[in-house]
Every structure is written in C-alpha cells, then in structure tokens.
Structure 1
Amino acid sequence: MLKEVQRNELFCAYYAKWIQVYKKGAIREVTMDKYRMAHQWLEKIAPTLKIYELSRITYQQILNDYALSHERQTTMDFHHQLKGAILDAVDEGLIDRDPTRKAIIKGKVPAAKKIKYINQYELHTLLNSLKLASTVSWDWLLLLIAKTGARFSEALAVTPQDFDFTRQTLSISKTWDYKGNGGFMPTKNKSSVRKVQLDWQTVIQFSSLIRGLPKSQPIFVEPGQKVYNSTVNDILERHCKHAHIPVISIHGLRHTHASLLLFAGVSIASVARRLGHASMTTTQKTYLHIIQELENKDIDLVMRSLASLS
C-alpha cells in the first residue's frame, strides 16, 4: 500500500526530496544550485508526471523539451542530474525498468565559442591600458589575476596579509562568496590552497597599493558590498575594445596566464600547481590544444637535431 502511494507521487516532488536527502551536505553549494535548477526545470517541463508514469518515452520527452532551449552539453548535464534519482527509484521498486536507458541527448546549435585566451602581445597591450591609480580599483584586480592566474573568487578574497613581499609570494587559501551573501569560503579543493610566486614588478606595485589597508580585510571588496562577476567582465570588455584586442572574460585572463606559461616552456606540473588544479589531468584536458601545439614544435626540434647529426 505504501509503495503504491509512493509510485503515485509526482516525480518533481520525489526529485526535490531526493536532492535534500542524498545531495545536501555531500556536494559543494555551487553544485547543489545546479541540482536545484534541474528541479525547477522539471517542475516546468513535467509538473504533473507521476513516478509510475516514467518510461523511456516520457523521459525522452523531458529531455527533448529541455533540449529546445539548451545546448547538447547542458542537456547531458541535466540528464545526469536526473538519472541518479531515477535509478534510486528503480532500486526501490517505484519504477519497473530504467527509463534513462539508451536516452538520446539532443540540444540546440551551440553559440559561437568565445575566445578563451589572448597572446602575449595582446596581454601586454591590455595591461598597458589599465588605469592603475594609487587607490584600489577593479583594474588592480584584473592585473592580479593576469599575473597570478587566480580564480575570480580567489582574487576577491585576497587580503593584505596574504602577501609576503620578502619571499615574493601570494598565499591563496580561501575564496569570496560573491554569488551568495559575501564572506570567506574554502577553496575549490585542497590543491587550490597554494603559494603563488610573484614577479618583482608586481611586488613593488602591490606593496605600495595595500600600504595602510586593514590586514585581514579583502582588498577589493568593501564591507557590505555586493560584487557581480558581470560588472568586472564589463570593465574588462571595455578595456579589450579600447586596446583593439579580442574580448575575453575574467576567467579568460586565468586561461591566458596558463597558456603563456605553457608556451614559455613551463612544465604542466608547475602550471597545475600554480593554478591550483586537483591534478595534472585537469590541466592537460583544459589546455590540450596548446600542449598539442607544443608537441608539434618538439617534433620539429627533434627532427632538426637528428638531421644535424648526419
């Protein structure tokens, strides 16, 4: 009798409970938000669908409806977010067969891919266009990210005491909750806690900038201030257009930093540590195109070296 009642429960209601029971507290809040968003779409697409009505056809229709307004990769993510709950419902005997089996993932035509990074000359041009006054501004944040490869949330959380000018390092050990109510938060993972070496010019610039600022307060965020990623991206876009270089995002500055290091011959292991990646695999996947270019150059170098032996 109880199982029959459960089988007649709305799938979107079951999914909401499943998120709370299995995901809340087990995943990062950012990831939790993605599951909540999936639930909102489920309520919109299939508000009256009951658990026992889930079949390959009804599930495929959910994916098809979602795919009308989302790209294929986003639809794939949505599919994986729903699938865990559905497989648990199958295990509990609420659904006879797995309706996600052989699901077809569709999606609208992807938008034109934005440029992820700029070259050394373009970065040099961009940095020259920054207005680095004697007081803190968003232009200083752009400089810090370009020179350290820090994530946006990591750069926002930087305080004066994080700098060690004697050793020319910046300690990254926290992030700023700019998507929520503000305040310090842990880094993305344990590997993200790191010390980033600074060049002497950056040391001189920031030692002057932060003189007299509260040691434990964020440099770029005032008390009670709400920070939006879009605001800083708009400032960066204006700089790019003024400098007549390709427009990139704040995260594109991080990609640019890593790309220039790789092209300069810095090892993947060193770049991974500097970026705070959990493993070199992440770095290799993210910058595969650059690594392949470097391998092609290495092949040319090997061939020239061997040819010179004859």
Structure 2
Amino acid sequence: MAYFRKRGSAWEYRIKFTNRKTGLPAETSKGGFKSKAEASLAAAKAQLELDYYGFMPDGNELVETYFIKWLETYKKPNVKPITYSVQERNVRLNILPRWGKMKMKQIIRNEYQQWINELRNHYSEGTVRRIHSIFSTAMNDAVHEFNILRENPVQRIKIPKEKDQSRKVKFFSRSQLESFLEHTKPVKNAKYKESMQYLALFTLLARTGLRIGEALALTWDDINLDSKTLTVEKTLVYPLNSEPYISTPKSRTSERTIKLDVTTIKIIKKHRINQKEVILKYENYKPAKTNIIFHQHDGRWLRTNVVREYFKEVCKRANVPILSPHALRHTHAVHLLEAGANIKYVSERLGHKSVKITADTYLHVTKKIEDDALSLYERYV
C-alpha cells in the first residue's frame, strides 16, 4: 500500500510491502514530485513493478536480496547442478560479503573496479573472471529483465592479467612424471598395500589427459580393450557436503572417444586383475556397486578430495612439485605438443571447445613449436 506526504513544496510516496525472501515488512520511497497526483502515478507504477518482478524498483533493492532470489529462481533451474554450485559459492563467499548490504543503485563502477583489482591479489585471473561474469550477468538481468536499473555499472571492467603467462599451467617434466608414478604404489604400512588402483588412475590421467571427474566416472564398459579406445560421455560431480552424482561432461566436445597407448592398456589390464585380488585379500574391501573402474573400499565412487590428498602425498614422496591431479592433464598435453603432435589432435583429445583454447592454454609450448618450425624452415631454405 502506498502512503503520501508533502515535504516542503514537493510530494513523496512510500510503499510498504512484505519481503518475499525474509517474510518481514519492507519499505521503498521516492520524493521530488510536483503534486500528489504525480506522486500517486509514480507509486502505482512502482507497485506494479514490485508485484510483477518481485524486486524494489529504481535500484532500491538490496544486493543480497536480489542475488539470492536471482540465483534460486533464474539460474538454478537453467544450469547444471555443478555450475549452480560454483555460482552460488562465489556469490556467497565473494560477492555478498562486500556488496550484500548495499542497494543495487549504490554500486559504482570505480569502486567495483577497485574491488576487482583487490581480488586479483588473492585469486587467479581465471577465478576473478568467473566472479565478475556472475556479477555482470546478474546486473544485466537487473537492467534488461527486471527494469530495476537503467544500466549495468560493471560493464567493460578490466581484469588484471597474469604477469607471467608461462606460469599459468603447472605440469611435470618427463623425469618428474616418471618419478611420481614410481612412488604412486602404497607404502609398506598402507591399509591396502596390495592395491595398484592409484597407479592405474594416475597413469590413465597422465597418458590420456582426462579430467579427474571424467576418470572417476568411468565404468569397465567405457573401455574397449580390443580396439584400445576409451569413451568419455559422463563425469562424476562430488559437491562439498553433498551426495555425488553422475552428470554430462563439461561441454559437447568433452564427449569423445580416444585411443589408448600400449602402456596404458597394460596398466588397465593389470588393475582389473588386481582389483579382484584385493577384494579377495581384504575382508572389508567390497566390489564396485556400479561396475566403476576406480572405487573406495566400500564399493562407492572415489572421493575427489581423497584423490587430491593422496596425490600430494605422492608428490612429497617423489620429491617433485606439489601439484594437483589436474596437472596430469596439463602434463599430457604439454608432452604431446613437445613430441610434435598436431595441436588440433591435442585439442580434440582433451575435449576442448576449440583449438584456440588449447593454443592459449599452452602458449609457452606452442611458441616453442613455432620457433622450432621456423628454425627448420630457415635451415631448409
């Protein structure tokens, strides 16, 4: 309901309503109207917008209220659960602590740019780009979908770039990879010291470039030992404090069938036999419940955080840089490129959306390839 009052020579309207998120009374107002009739017309328009869009008009909505409602209503039903999880976490941990108690109209471009610059002191360029993308998309919707802002104040923001592009990609050299895999087998006092599961998993990652979620989702039906191929058509998502589930791959190009080399085939075959031996040897080691290739002792999917922790342990044992399992994907790509593989082949093997992504990601390697090719040309002519 709208209320009106005259302040000096101007009129003001005030609308009281119930906040849909909190269930508590809320209020919005605007003044400066020449007459009560003019204020009444503006109030009626504001009330319609509030009823229709669910947000306060004229940018008076709190950032916190807007973002939470925007995520739940407009993002959650339209993106993959893992994508929503990432977006929700970035909003909750990065955007709301800084902007949540401000009104939408109070977001100023210069202040926002300063915040982005500060974020780069704590996060990588890619992470800051993701945070900014979420923020800017929400603000665009505020302009074009809900009419609560006239323009997006965070357009054309500059994201500070990595100073050293070659340091973006972390990978093992050939000797480091060899040492890492040698130390992957369980130590003497390990609980399931006869298991070669992690050797098989890390070898597969290092020689195929699979993402960790793609590897953990694999079943024995996905590998054809006769044709020496592996089919990727799903990924394991293991959200924090939630149940894991199988989802479609990251993108359409992530669905692919790739060739396996002889070494990988041998390791996978040994792992299949070893898996059965371990089940027989240890009483509490159960068969996989869904024919998965890599699993916990109780038959469930391996937890990604457990894999990461074991990976770090192996790095320490092998005295190599302490990286993450994703480094094996980079390692495979770099080794292929250094061996002279066609970049289009590498891009398709990794499941990238485009060759440009591959070239940009492994810029330091592709530059070396260009230099080597030019040297060959110069020697030829």
Common fold: TM-score over 0.5: yes
* More divergent stretch after superposition (267-276 vs 83-92): 83-92
Structure 1 pair 220–68 and aligned structure 2 pair: CA distance change class (3 A): same
Q: CA deviation at 1:13?
A: 0.9
Query: Is the CA contact (8 Å cut-off) linking 2:237 and 2:247 kept in structure 1?
Result: yes
Q: CA deviation at 1:18?
A: 2.0
Q: In structure 2, the residue corresponding to 1:20 is in which secondary structure?
A: helix
* Partner Cα separation in structure 2 for residue 204 and residue 53 of structure 1: 62
Query: Is the CA contact (8 Å cut-off) linking 1:115 and 1:248 kept in structure 2?
Result: no
1:217 to 272, 288, 291: 291
* More divergent stretch after superposition (253-262 vs 181-190): 181-190
> What is the aligned partner in structure 1 of residue 72 from structure 2?
20
Q: Which has the higher contact order (CA 8 A, sep 6+)?
A: 1
> What is the aligned partner in structure 1 of residue 343 from structure 2?
268
1:159 to 205, 219, 224: 219
> What is the aligned partner in structure 1 of residue 236 from structure 2?
176
- CA-to-aligned-CA distance 1:252-288 (integer Å, 9 cap, x gap): 1111111111111111121112112222222112112
Residue 6 (1) aligns with residue 57 (2): yes
Q: In structure 2, the residue corresponding to 1:118 is in which secondary structure?
A: coil
Query: Is the CA contact (8 Å cut-off) linking 1:175 and 1:186 kept in structure 2?
Result: yes
Structure 1 pair 57–221 and aligned structure 2 pair: CA distance change class (3 A): same
* Letter aligned with residue 148 of structure 1: T
Q: In structure 2, the residue corresponding to 1:6 is in which secondary structure?
A: coil
> What is the aligned partner in structure 2 of residue 195 from structure 1?
257
Matches within 5 A, 1:71-150: 74-91=127-144, 92-101=146-155, 103=157, 116-131=170-185, 135-150=195-210
2:307 to 232, 235, 245: 232
* Partner Cα separation in structure 2 for residue 240 and residue 39 of structure 1: 33
Q: How many residues align?
A: 305
Q: In structure 2, the residue corresponding to 1:266 is in which secondary structure?
A: coil
TM-score when normalising by structure 1: 0.83
Higher helix share: 1
Query: Is the CA contact (8 Å cut-off) linking 1:196 and 1:274 kept in structure 2?
Result: yes
* More divergent stretch after superposition (64-73 vs 219-228): 64-73
Structure 2: gaps (5+ residues) = 1-42, 51-55, 187-192, 277-286
Matches within 5 A, 1:248-263: 248-263=323-338
- CA-to-aligned-CA distance 1:212-260 (integer Å, 9 cap, x gap): 5669421212457474434323322332333333333211111111111
TM-score when normalising by structure 2: 0.69
Q: CA deviation at 1:171?
A: 1.9
Structure 1 pair 240–115 and aligned structure 2 pair: CA distance change class (3 A): farther
Structure 1: gaps (5+ residues) = none
> What is the aligned partner in structure 2 of residue 51 from structure 1?
104
* Partner Cα separation in structure 1 for residue 374 and residue 114 of structure 2: 50
- CA-to-aligned-CA distance 1:54-75 (integer Å, 9 cap, x gap): 4446655765776675556544
Q: In structure 2, the residue corresponding to 1:292 is in which secondary structure?
A: helix
* More divergent stretch after superposition (59-68 vs 212-221): 59-68
Query: Is the CA contact (8 Å cut-off) linking 2:294 and 2:301 kept in structure 1?
Result: no
Residue 305 (1) aligns with residue 342 (2): no
Q: In structure 1, the residue corresponding to 2:319 is in which secondary structure?
A: coil
Structure 1 pair 95–294 and aligned structure 2 pair: CA distance change class (3 A): same
Query: Is the CA contact (8 Å cut-off) linking 2:184 and 2:199 kept in structure 1?
Result: yes
Higher strand share: 2
Q: In structure 1, the residue corresponding to 2:102 is in which secondary structure?
A: coil
Aligned CA RMSD, in angstroms, stands at: 3.3
Q: In structure 1, the residue corresponding to 2:57 is in which secondary structure?
A: helix
* Letter aligned with residue 18 of structure 1: W
Matches within 5 A, 1:63-78: 63=116, 70=123, 74-78=127-131
In our comparison, the structure showing a higher alpha carbon Rg is 2
- CA-to-aligned-CA distance 1:175-207 (integer Å, 9 cap, x gap): 112235123221112222222212223223322
Query: Is the CA contact (8 Å cut-off) linking 2:184 and 2:198 kept in structure 1?
Result: no
* Letter aligned with residue 330 of structure 2: H
* Letter aligned with residue 219 of structure 1: I
Query: Is the CA contact (8 Å cut-off) linking 2:234 and 2:248 kept in structure 1?
Result: yes
Query: Is the CA contact (8 Å cut-off) linking 2:62 and 2:102 kept in structure 1?
Result: yes
Q: CA deviation at 1:293?
A: 0.4
